């Protein structure tokens, strides 16, 4: 049986060090430490607006770049969009490698330094590609 978008999202999100899932705002959300880095938006829930998607934490510059460059794949979600978050549509054969990269970027904005070091070690890099929390 093929994985659903939520199954695939869950696999990618929970592969990040110490990431965990809970239901928040009626949807599965993904956390590290005490901070959310991603939220599933179901097509069946009003948050999804008829399409499965994931909302990712980001800085405004990233949000502006991805939404303006690829409006068929990215969007500004309600509620959290004003804080820089962006959404990725998951209902039209998304590039899961790209989704994984975006989830990692979101995770890096909120994860403690020790977990970032763990992630970098696991990926075979040392202090490369760190995203500033500002």
pLDDT, block means (10 residues), the chain with 134 residues: 89 97 94 96 75 96 97 94 96 94 97 95 69 47
E-state strands within 63-110 = 74-75, 86-89
- Dihedral pair phi/psi, residue 10, rounded to 5°: -60, -45
Taking CA 39 as the corner, what is the angle to CA 90 and CA 21, rounded to the nearest 5 degrees?
Answer: 115
Task: Tell me what pLDDT residue 87 has.
Answer: 96
pTM value is 0.88
Task: Tell me what pLDDT residue 74 has.
Answer: 97
Task: Tell me what pLDDT residue 44 has.
Answer: 82
End-to-end CA distance of the chain: 42
Task: Tell me what pLDDT residue 2 has.
Answer: 67
Q: Which CATH number goes with the domain that contains 59?
A: 3.90.1150.30
Q: Has residue 127 been placed in a domain?
A: no
Q: Has residue 130 been placed in a domain?
A: no
Q: How many domains does the chain have?
A: 1
Residue 45 lies in domain? 5-122
Specify the DSSP element, H or E, that contains 122: helix 113-122
Q: How far is the C-alpha of 99 from the C-alpha of 12, rounded, in Å?
A: 8
């Amino acid at each position: 049986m093929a994985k659903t978008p939520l199954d695939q999202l869950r696999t990618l999100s929970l592969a990040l060090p110490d990431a965990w899932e809970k239901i928040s705002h009626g949807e599965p959300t993904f956390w590290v430490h005490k901070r959310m880095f991603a939220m599933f938006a179901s097509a069946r829930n009003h948050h999804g607006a008829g399409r499965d998607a994931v909302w990712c934490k980001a800085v405004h510059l990233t949000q502006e770049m991805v939404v303006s460059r690829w409006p068929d794949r990215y969007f500004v979600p309600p509620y959290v969009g004003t804080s820089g978050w962006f959404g990725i549509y998951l209902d039209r054969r998304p590039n899961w490698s790209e989704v994984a990269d975006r989830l990692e970027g979101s995770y890096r904005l909120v994860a403690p330094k020790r977990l970032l070091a763990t992630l970098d070690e696991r990926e075979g890099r040392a202090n490369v590609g760190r995203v500033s929390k500002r």
